[in-house]
Chain A
Amino acid sequence: MDNILEPLRAGIQWLFEITAYPVLAYFIVINTSLLLLIIFASVNFTSHLRRQSFTGSRVTAASPLSPGISVLMPAYNEGAVIAASVRAVLDLRYPDHEVVVINDGSSDETLQTLIDVYDLVEDQREVSIKVPVRGAVRRTYRARDTALPIIVVDKENSGRSDSLNMGLNVASKDLVVMVDADSLLDPDSLLVVSKPFTDDPEHVIATGGVVRVANGCEVVAGRVVSVNMPKNYFARIQIVEYLRSFLLGRAGWSQLNSLILISGAFGMFRRDLIIRAGGLDADSIGEDFELVMRLHKLMREEKRKYRVIFIAEPVCWTEVPSSAAVLARQRRRWHRGLWEVLTKYRGMTFNPRYGSVGMIALPYYWIFELIAPAIELFGIFIVPLGLLLGVVNVPYALAFIAVAYLYAIFVSLMALLVEEASFHRYNRWRDLWVALSVSVIENVGYRQLTAVWRMQGWWAALRGKKQVWGTMTRTGFESSAP
């Protein structure tokens, strides 16, 4: 027995010795950068909140000169919600917006429902194709009442990105925003997200809204009317996760003007630029991420001054997976998308030509988003082994783990603090206790599970396995901060 254990022990001892300093360095850098992001995010919030009163949204809402917005809504078998979703978008407070629904070859009553509810007739007008589209268009429709700004494109199934590309061809307004049929939008969402375009029309090329967890909220006719904590374990954890990743992560990056990830569930873009960039990449899994990277690349290469802005104001709510199976699929997909986009744009990484995007944001995503689950799993594997073989002593290992997890809890607490100081949508004391307990509990089980799923996604990407998720995943691409 001993002669097998001895070399193993030596091997583990050796592993510990060679990884000790890299792991320690990694740990220090990741935590410091998180802290820095928190600081940048606080700066971002303070300025946002102090300006909240004079946003001029009342004036913009009533101005015929506000830039027009095309709301693109791809729909695949959304028959149950489509009529209400379209109504909710038409009712948004904005002076000039149209809805473009792209029926992605639904096999249910999605199209018929729209035709019946909005009294659609066939639209004979031809569409000029500016962005190439794969799925063949069967027919386009518009309302008999031409004052009702709705266009429905019926096409063969070809996926979310391709549908959005078709939507780009049909859209006629200066700005486009992509929403999912099951996203719940606040009445002021278009005003809030388009505001940077009105205030700085020369430089702003894209804005990304925050996405919040709709699970548990009371929803009436497509609007969130009361915000509550869900009962479901996975949904609860994701609330804290989303707060952390959006409120701290995105706001921090936006402050550094190197926001490279805009949520697909609610991102707004200048239509001319998105068309010039060639629309969405229908082959990419992280198509929203890919698009923003492409825009960054385009702008940096043309040496133009531009801005991509994150909007912290909660305006878009989406249902998050509440079962392990669906969540696993989502996280595998996200991580796979992350890998694909990062490798595709590897030439920009550490390339001073691309400024802070190349020098800060991309390296950060490589090291702390992509590799993080590997390090996490390595720790899960090696520490117990080390303990078992007596290479490390128990109190020491416990102290080390305590530091790692305490830090994670601290970051979650900071996110809760920022939320409480800014938007405080979770009003009750009970919500706070739930959020607190969740920030502790997620460290045991959830964290490790997501690490496994993310590794699986990465592995699938490396093996180049073809995408077989079947149904369209709805939330688009969100990477979660660790």
Chain B
Amino acid sequence: MLVSWDVLAIAVVVLVVGCIVALAAVVVIKGSRHARERRRTVHENAVRSRIMALAVAEDEALDALVQELASTPGPLGDHVEQTLLRMIPEVRGDVREAMISVLAARGLLRRSLQRISSRSAIQRAGAAELLGVLGGSEVIRPLTAALRDKNLEVRLVAARALGVAARPEAGGHLVDALSLTSGIPHSVAATALLNLPDQDPTVYIEGLRDRDAGIRYGSAAVVGMLLMSEAAEALFECLLAEGGRENASDVVVAACARSLGRLSYKPATSELAEISCSSSASSSVRQAAGEALRAMPGAEAREVRRHVMERADADVRRILVDA
């Protein structure tokens, strides 16, 4: 015989058992999920209208409602938390504050502040995210500390969370997080910076002179997106200096060019024209310079564009043809 009977018999038995176990697991998982969903519907009906009432209650009625939701116990209470966490990012104003005060009164802030120093990276990341949603001045310190967490994912989530929390004092820390050494992709840190209110241009002017290419890139991108005209000159200097740097980066040049375009910084026009036709610049840099040129207003810029159209490569011409 090819394979002994015993082996075959054992294999059949093992497989049959395996199939039955797998099947049972599917049925159990599906059944419990359905049961959970049914329970959730029951909870929903119980507290939903109370949660929604946060949008209309005022003064003492609001205080009483917040108190009521904050002291809702057990699974119903968990449900309140989940619903509020889902809704908070969608709303702003009074309702948002009322919702956050319910969560704070339930101890979510305290629990998250504990969890952000947990040993599990997933727990820390989850806590960082919650802290971002809850916001307020007390979450900034733990979140900026988490920007230097040993786990990259936690750092990433913390950077995003600082953007969600949107407090101006996080600015300097997020600029530091732009650094290439942080491991946080600079688009993530820069996006968070875009969300902060009342920012100080001097932070970015310094950032544009930083030795770290990541910080230069992020500063350049943010300055343009937030239309900080105070930093335009530094931006132009950064563009000019980049070529002479040891760690010169195309990404920085492209970001500077785009931002100069967004700021309509006219003194940069001829330099941008030069770059857009330069054979030593990479294609992406030429195109960024072209985009910036397209955005420049005024008759002089139009004249420059006409010249560029004669010299530039097809991709740049494609960008400029509309202008």
Chain A residues close to B by CB (< 8 Å): 16, 20-21, 24, 50-51, 53-54, 56, 58-60, 63-67, 124-128, 146, 172, 198-201, 272, 396, 399-400, 402-403, 406-407, 409-410, 413-414, 416-417, 420-421, 424, 429, 432, 436
Tell me the minimal C-beta distance from B101 to chain A in angstroms.
22
- The contact size tier of chain B is 35 or more
State the Cβ distance, A227 to closest chain B Cβ, in Å. Answer: 14
* Cα(A411)–Cα(B191), bound, Å: 44
**With A399-B9, A413-B19, A413-B26 as contacts: A54 and B129 at CB distance below 8 Å:** yes
Q: Which of B1-46 contact A (CB under 8 A)?
A: 1-3, 5, 8-9, 11-12, 15-16, 18-19, 22-23, 25-27, 29-30, 33
The total of interchain contacts (Cβ-Cβ below 8 angstroms) comes to 117
A-B contact pairs, 19 of them (CB 8 A): A54-B125, A58-B89, A59-B188, A66-B187, A125-B317, A125-B321, A172-B318, A201-B185, A403-B8, A403-B11, A403-B12, A410-B18, A413-B19, A413-B26, A416-B26, A417-B25, A417-B29, A424-B30, A432-B27
The reply on B313 being an interface residue by CB < 8 A is yes
B129 engages A53 (CB within 8 Å): yes
B126 within 8 A of partner (CB): yes
Besides A20-B2, A198-B185, 15 other CB < 8 A contacts?
A: A20-B3, A21-B2, A24-B2, A64-B225, A65-B221, A124-B321, A126-B314, A126-B318, A199-B188, A396-B8, A406-B12, A406-B16, A410-B18, A410-B19, A413-B26
Q: Could you tell me which residues of chain B, from 288 to 318, have a CB within 8 Å of some CB in chain A?
A: 313-315, 317-318
Contact check, A65 vs B191: say whether CB atoms are below 8 A apart.
Answer: yes
Segment 101-117 of B: residues with Cβ below 8 Å from A: none
| A64→B1 CA distance, assembly (Å) | 69
Cα distance, A21 to B194, chains bound together (Å): 65
Partner-A contacts on B (CB < 8 A)? 1-3, 5, 8-9, 11-12, 15-16, 18-19, 22-23, 25-27, 29-30, 33, 89, 122, 125-126, 128-129, 153, 156-157, 160, 163-164, 185, 187-188, 190-192, 194, 221, 225, 284, 313-315, 317-318, 321-322
Are A410 and B22 interface neighbours, CB within 8 A? yes
| Alpha-carbon distance A414/B187, docked complex (angstroms) | 39
Q: Is the interface of B mostly helix, strand, loop or mixed?
A: helix
Q: How far is the CA of A199 from the CA of B9 in the complex (A)?
A: 50
B residues less than 8 Å from A403 (CB atoms): 8, 11-12, 15
Tell me the bound Cα distance from A81 to B317 in angstroms.
34
Contact with A128, one of B22, B125, B313 (Cβ below 8 angstroms): B313
Residues of B within 8 A of A409 (CB): 19
CB distance from B206 to the nearest CB of A (A): 20
Complex alpha-carbon distance, A407 and B11, angstroms: 9
Return the chain B residue nearest A400 by Cβ: B8
Given A199-B185, A406-B12, A436-B23: A51 touches B317 (CB 8 Å cut-off): no
